[in-house]
Structure formats: C-alpha cells, structure tokens
Amino acid sequence: MIILGVDPGLTRCGVGVIEAGAYRRLSFIHVDVVRSAPDVSQDLRLLAIYNGLVEKMDRFVPDVVSIERVFAQSNHNTVLGTAQAAGLAMLAAAQRGIPVALHTPTEAKLAITGDGRAQKIQVERMVTRILNLNTMPTPADAADALALAICHALRPSGALQGGEREQHLTPAQRQWAQAAQKTRRRSSTDRGM
C-alpha cells in the first residue's frame, strides 16, 4: 500500500510517501515540501499548494492520503492557513477517489515513539530510524509528513479483540489502541449510552 502523508501549511506543506508492505515493513519512497511565496495573494498561494499536491498525488498514485488533523491554536492566522491547506489535500484526494485519513499530532507521536507528548526531534529521529534513512528529513514539515504516513501504516485496525490481535501489535500500537478504547468508552458514557 502506498501512503502519502501531508503536513498541511500555507508557506510549507510537507509531503511524504512510503510503502507499507507485508508484516508492517515500511519503505521510504519520497519526501518534499510544496511551497508558496508569502509575498503573493492568498488565492495564488492556495493555488500553488493545490497544484503541488495534485502533482504528488498524480505522480505517486497513493492508496490513501494521511493528513494532519487541524486543531485550534492561539494564532488564528496560522490555523486558518493550515486548515485551508488540509482542505486542499482532501479535495485533491477526493477528486482522484483516494481515501483520506486524518490523524492528530498526538496520534502520530504515539504511533512513532510510543509517547503522545514526544518532542519534535524524537519524532524526526524515529522516522529516520523506521524508514532506514541515512539522514533526518528536513525541514521539519517533511519529517512530519513522513510521520503521518507512518502513523497511518502502523495504526491498529480497530479496537483490541482477543489476545491474538494484541500479540501482533507493537507496544506503541497497543498503547494507542488502549487509549482509543478508553476515549470511546468515555464518549459513550458522556452521551448516556
């Protein structure tokens, strides 16, 4: 399965492509950053990001696009540009019939390092190690895009069901699945189910 990860941004939009093979073997294919010039109008910046994402999707023909889920920040201009870039990635994928998965930064950190609060450098080092790279991908947006692709490849497929499934999960995947299970339980309790 070819997974294209997108770390959305208006100035720099990270794109990382990996292949997830049998037995969760991950192979590096490509990493890059799609850029837009901050001195041009917003519509032209969005067009540059969209065109760059379309080129990557058409070139690598991914089976799924894994995008960072945008969350509220104190800097509203940053979150707005990030949300717009994420929307462009979703649109480009939808136009090509490619499924989209959204993952939070915490999910990606947890999948990569086993710690949802890991520092950026820890994630970058683990991405380098997991993909057997000689050097860390730069800039950080590129490493984050690869982390999102890896996160999707390593995600547990559903809640833990029985000991056999649990044996095939890495410690980070097991921790992630257990945290997801707790969150679902809390959600259903909050709704009164």
Q: Beta strand pairing status for 26-35 and 2-7?
A: unpaired
- Amino acid identity, position 60: F
Alpha helices, H only, the chain: 42-60, 76-95, 105-113, 120-130, 140-154, 162-167, 171-190
Q: Does the annotation count 115 as an active-site position?
A: no
CA quadruple 135, 34, 114, 62: dihedral, nearest 10: -100
Identify whether 58 is a catalytic site residue: no
Q: Which of these is catalytic: 7, 107, 124, 144?
A: 7
Q: Please identify which of the residues 19, 43, 58, 68 carries the catalytic annotation.
A: 68
Burial category of 75 from C-beta neighbours within 10 Å (exposed 0-12, middle 13-18, buried 19 and up): exposed
68 included as an active-site residue: yes
Residue list, annotated binding site for Mg(2+): 7, 68, 141
Q: Pick the catalytic residue: 58, 63, 107, 141? A: 141
Return the number of other C-beta atoms located less than 10 Å from residue 83's C-beta: 15
Closest CA to 17 of 65, 87, 84: 65
Active site residues: 7, 68, 141
